[in-house]
Structure 1
Amino acid sequence: MHIAIATTEFVTEPTFSGGLSNFTTNLAGILRNHGHQVDVFVVADTDEVFIWEDGIRVHRVKYRKEIEELKYIPLSRLRRHALTVWCLWGMSYVINRKIKEIHKETPFSVIHFCDSAILWACCPGSIPNVLRLSSSPYLVRRALVSGELPFDYDAALKSRDLQERIYDFELRKMKTIIAPSYLVGGVIEKKLGRRVTVVESPFCTDISGMDNTLYNEKLLGKKYFLFFGTLNFLKGIHVIGQAIIDIFERYPDFYFVFQGRDSKLSWKGQELTGKELLKMFAGKYAERIIFLLPISEKKQVYGVVSHAELVVLPSRVDNLPNTCIEAMALGKVVIGTRGASFEQLITDGYNGWLIERDNPSSLLEKMDQAMRMTEEEKVLFGERAKKRLKQMSPEEFYKKIMDVYVGAMEGQ
């Protein structure tokens, strides 16, 4: 097959980070390893074509990034949404124009849109296509807003602004939709009545040969709990923050390590960064919080993860996060949120622990249960976690994604 992958993130780009870029990179590699011709189309600040990794052709497609600039322009909410949609459509137009140009030279069997910025909006109807939902904008946008009030899942599904109406309109046009989690797939089925096929993302990461340089420099000799990911309400740092004094008092020999990108937040009318909010919550124990900057070298991340006592990921909403998968692959005991897609990976009390959303008391309870485990029990949890990930092997993923592609081509 000749397969086009359309995305806003790829490993070759300066903005490479997070689940979407990891997925698109793994997808391209798996398809190429099975003999398919792969072209990746990625939004960039320049036009360029080059060959990456054993014959994968990457097309950088130039598009001015007005969306980022909109953050700093004083606009009414309606105008901001309207301009954002206009920019997203423009991004879709330039990507699909380039795809059609290449299609005339060497026809594509299928286009795989990796969901971000409604890139599929201007897709050519004559080419079979597949859309992968990398998140649910209905849930994510509202989970980011405030940590003071509990996140209301049902209200998030009912609320619809202009941008989401456009998203719904464009989504209805897609014939084949997949998602890595039942949570995200279920949202689309509930809102739009569309069938979504769940295809879990492949786990392709080599965790051998980890690099302990950062661990030795910052954490050697320290016992610590670990959160890694973006410091925002979506990822649940307010849940850890509200429990952190109790955590430090119950476990006086432990630090709490936060590794990841900081973000600007608002808490009770006060503008703070994620780091500042956590320090505020910790009060007199603030010196027992250790912040590590985002790390581009994965093997150094694994060095930090492998020495953690527990990995704490209290996200409000997620989509089979790489942080959870990577920690499980390293045999760590992970605490995640029930109803946020973690339950697809974790069976509570069997290979990890699940807490209730936005609930610091639930987090404390599960941390206490985890800390009462013997070393033998922790090893057993880790073995079970690794066994679960075998279902996400590249070969299993390849079989499922090819079934999806063939179905899309036959239904065209």
Structure 2
Amino acid sequence: MTAVLLATPYYPPNLGGVQQYTWNLARQLRRRHSYRVVVVTTAEPGEAPGTQVDDDGVTVHRLPSWRRISNTPVGFGWTGAIRRIIRDEKIDLINAHGPVPLFADLARRAAGDVPFVLTYHAGRMRKGHFAPDLLLSTYESTLLAGTVRHSREVICASEHVGEDLPNLFAGRPTVIEPGADLDLFRPTPVPPAQRIVFSASLEKATAYKGLADLLHALARLPEAHLEVAGSGSAEQDYHELARQLGITERVTFSGYLSGEKLAEAYRRARVLCLPTHFDNYPTVIVEAMATGRPVVATRVGAIPMFVTEGGTGLLNEPGDIDALTTSLNTVLTDYTLASRLGAAGSEFVAANLSWQRQSDRTVEVFQRAMSPQPAPVH
């Protein structure tokens, strides 16, 4: 039985695109491909580090984290800890996930001669401020470049990633986008109620997901109700903003949802809205489309590559609350349009983006990485 180590800085119940990608991949590798799956990640603040086996038979090792700098966990002794896990678990292949700096790079250092595959989920990391942008640019051209160079295979989570970092990846990646579990996210007719769902992390560091913009738009849609699926350090700030806007009774904060509970939240809604200011390929959009829900989102990252204007959803520029309000009102008041967009989305995901298909493609990459390597030419 092949043993694979998935190295990711965060893992559910922490909510985010990379977390959901690795979680879904772990489940498919275990169930569909009979891999023995081990995850190494970091413990959440206040959470004790340790090891547990989840309901799917995946062994999860959580390493102690000293603190976070922006969205990057920082700890001590991680390289040695990962090296011991590789040895004790008899790992055949390591698949590390970026872009959060350092964790994937340390996993690559710990790998030794074990085949290493990098999966990268975002384009250039920029904050819009000189000092952090210089630091991130330096990281990409040094540590990350070394990790890419020493990877037997590279996977990018969208075409956008490779296009945004052409010098780094130089045509090497296999593109494997996030998928949806079609056994879980099944299409159903759109409901008549004017109900919106938003699903994302509510951490302060992920304010770019645009929930504040959506709350302002909701204040202009008096018949609409919003369900927020997510949790994090900024949750109370959003409660307060809803109170200030006078929409508290029309917003339900459901907390972190996953699996069937998240699928039910999509099915309760007429539309998924993700007015993100910065993103790559949000998994929640794919899941909502699989459920037969139209999408209102923004023209950022890879989103326009799979959410087509008037085909599977409606797109706006980030931060344009007037346009966001208009798009939401259109979908919420036109049942025929919502049904057509939702049906087109579910058909697209079923044909192209099931996690079953994406895991098959990932295993093909893993098998190439584990195949005998040619001897170096002297």
Partner of 1:213: none
CA distance in 1, matches of 2:234, 2:50: 32
**Bigger helix share:** 1
Matched AA of 1:321? P
Paired residues, number: 356
SS of the aligned residue for 1:186 comes to helix
Matched AA of 2:211? I
- 2:227 maps to 1:227: no
- 2:368 maps to 1:381: no
- 2:143 maps to 1:179: no
- Compute the displacement of 1:130 (Å): 0.9
Q: Which runs of 5+ in 2 are unaligned?
A: 374-378
Partner of 2:376: none
CA distance in 1, matches of 2:286, 2:60: 30
CA distance in 2, matches of 1:260, 1:339: 21
- Compute the displacement of 1:199 (Å): 0.6
Q: Which runs of 5+ in 1 are unaligned?
A: 72-80, 143-150, 211-219, 266-271
Cα deviation per residue 1:133-184 (whole Å; 9 max; x = unaligned)?
2445714xx2xxxxxxxx79x9997763666554444444334221222223
CA distance in 1, matches of 2:214, 2:50: 43
Partner of 2:5: 5
Distance 1:188 1:36, change over 3 A: farther
| 1:276 corresponds to which of 231, 237, 240 | 240
Partner of 1:261: 231
CA distance in 2, matches of 1:411, 1:89: 34
Partner of 1:215: none
CA distance in 1, matches of 2:184, 2:58: 27
8 Å CA contact 1:189, 1:196 repeated in 2: no
CA distance in 1, matches of 2:26, 2:197: 31
Alignment of 1:113-262 (within 5 A): 113-115=96-98, 117-118=103-104, 119-136=106-123, 138-139=125-126, 142=127, 160=136, 166-190=143-167, 193=170, 195-204=172-181, 206-207=183-184, 223-231=194-202, 232-245=206-219, 247-248=220-221, 252-262=222-232
- Compute the displacement of 1:408 (Å): 2.1
CA distance in 2, matches of 1:384, 1:94: 47
- Compute the displacement of 1:300 (Å): 3.1
| 2:311 corresponds to which of 343, 350, 353 | 350
SS of the aligned residue for 1:114 comes to strand
The alignment yields a C-alpha RMSD, in angstroms, of: 3.8
Identity of aligned residues (%): 20
Distance 1:320 1:222, change over 3 A: same
8 Å CA contact 1:262, 1:273 repeated in 2: no
CA distance in 2, matches of 1:130, 1:365: 43
TM-score (norm 2): 0.77
SS of the aligned residue for 1:42 comes to strand
CA distance in 2, matches of 1:221, 1:372: 9
Partner of 1:304: 265
- Compute the displacement of 1:235 (Å): 0.4
Partner of 1:111: 94
- Compute the displacement of 1:222 (Å): 6.6
